[in-house]
Amino acid sequence: ALSALAAVDFGELPPELAASAAAPRERERVEAALRAEIEEHGAELARGAPNLKAVDQYEAVRAREAAQAGELEAARGAARDAADAFEGVRARRHDLFMRAFEHAAAAVNDVFKDLTRSPAHPTGGSAYLALDSADDPYLGGVKFTAMPPAKRYRDMDALSGGEKTLSALALLFAIHSFQAAPFFVLDEVDAALDAANVARVAQYISRKARGDAAAGIAPLQAVVISLKDGFYQHADALVGVCRDPDAGCSATLTFDLDAYGPAVGA
């Protein structure tokens, strides 16, 4: 074996390998290093081997991508439809509100003048409605200003009880003129009013109770609970509630004023 190894020509090896070929231990070390390098290159070649299933996997990924793209487009379309529907409802809500507000804002001044007009103040007072936010009225509030006759501007909280009552009734009747309610129940709205203002409110309700079919104004029907006779003479009928001592319960008394002619109920 040694004679055969001695016959091997190491002249074609690189100088660093030729020098180690004569020493057995050095030769083994170099051989181990070369084998390790070969194994490393072999592993690298294995890692670079083509994946024969790559095409199928790519097609599957493309199919999933196409399905998800379709779902995304459908979701975007649904979102656009929902946004359009929302804007439509929002615009319709805004238009309905503004139509009612503009009508009430125009009517409240006339109603307040009717409720506060007197021989001493033939023009009556003034009342106004204003929006905090005209572009989006739902983000703000509605400012209601009422100025009784011969009085300067003051906050609503600074008005007297009777002035607040007349202001509230003016706003109520102004809204009613836009969309009439079947009837009103007015529970002692005259509690803070003096006799002159009670008569004005009663006369106003009595006039509006006739309505105006030609103008499309519905009759104003009201059930008024009152302890003041200023309302009684303008009513169509009276209903009294009293205690029945014999029955031990409440009793009602009714009185139809229509039988006494329009002079009483006018």
pLDDT at 1: 46
Strand 142-147 relative to strand 126-131, pairing: antiparallel
DSSP character for 128? E
Residue 101 C-beta-side C-alpha neighbours within 13 Å: 19
Are 231 and 224 in contact, with CB atoms under 8 Å apart? yes
What is residue 11's predicted lDDT score, i.e. its pLDDT?
Answer: 64
121: which 2 tokens?
């103040």
Q: What is the pLDDT of residue 217?
A: 66
CA distance linking residue 228 with residue 230, whole number of Å: 5
**CA-angle at 244, arms to 240 and 248, nearest 5°:** 135
Within 10 angstroms of residue 193's Cβ, the number of other Cβ atoms is 23
Question: What is residue 185's three-state secondary structure?
Answer: strand
What global pTM score does this model have?
A: 0.65
Give one DSSP letter per residue of 22-64, joined into a string. SSHHHHHHHHHHHHHHHHHHHHHHHHTS--TTHHHHHHHHHHH
- Say if CB 125 and CB 170 are below 8 A apart: no
Report the pLDDT value the prediction gives residue 6, as an integer from 0 to 100.
52
Q: Which residues of the chain have pLDDT under 70?
A: 1-11, 13, 16-23, 211-218, 261-266
Q: Which of 178, 167, 176, 175 is nearest to 124 (CA)?
A: 167
